[in-house]
C-alpha cells in the first residue's frame, strides 16, 4: 500500500511539473505588432450594411477571440473578413 501511495504521489508531481512548464499563451496577450495591425484593419474597414461583424472586435478583450481572427500562440495566423458565400462577381 505504501508503494502505491508513493507511486501515486510521484505521478502527481510529474504531471504538475509538466503542466507548470508547458508553453501556453496568456489570455489577452497578443504580439504588439499584430495587435496594432488588427486595430489598423478595424479602423480602415466598415461593415457592410446590416452586418455587425466588427462589433465583435472589442480591443479590451483577447483579439484571438474576435470574429474572423485565427491565432497560433501569440500571433495572428489568418484573417477571414469576407463572407465566403458572397463572391466578388458583378
Residue 74 falls inside a structural domain? yes
- The range of the structural domain enclosing residue 30 comes to 25-90
CA distance 87 to 25: 35
Rounded to whole angstroms, how far apart are CA atoms 16 and 50?
49
The answer to the question of residue 11 being in a domain is no
Residue 19 pLDDT level (bands cut at 50, 70, 90) = very low
pLDDT over 90 percentage in the chain: 46
Report the half-sphere exposure of 87 (CA within 13 A, side-chain side): 2
pTM of the model: 0.60
- pLDDT of 3 > 80? The answer is no
Decide if 57 is inside a domain: yes
Q: Is residue 9 a part of any domain in this protein?
A: no
Q: Is residue 53 part of a domain?
A: yes
Separation of CA 70 from chain center: 6
pLDDT reported for residue 80: 93
- The band of 42, judged by pLDDT with boundaries at 50, 70 and 90, is very high
Number of domains in the chain: 1
Residue 8 located in a structural domain: no
Instruction: For residues 38-59, give the mean pLDDT.
Output: 91
Amino acid at each position: 500500500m505504501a508503494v502505491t501511495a508513493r507511486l501515486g504521489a510521484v505521478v502527481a508531481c510529474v504531471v504538475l511539473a509538466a503542466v507548470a512548464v508547458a508553453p501556453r499563451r496568456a489570455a489577452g496577450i497578443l504580439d504588439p505588432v499584430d495587435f496594432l495591425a488588427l486595430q489598423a484593419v478595424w479602423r480602415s474597414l466598415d461593415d457592410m450594411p446590416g452586418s455587425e461583424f466588427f462589433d465583435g472586435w472589442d480591443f479590451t478583450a483577447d483579439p484571438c477571440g474576435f470574429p474572423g481572427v485565427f491565432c497560433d500562440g501569440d500571433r495572428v495566423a489568418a484573417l477571414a473578413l469576407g463572407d465566403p458565400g458572397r463572391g466578388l462577381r458583378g
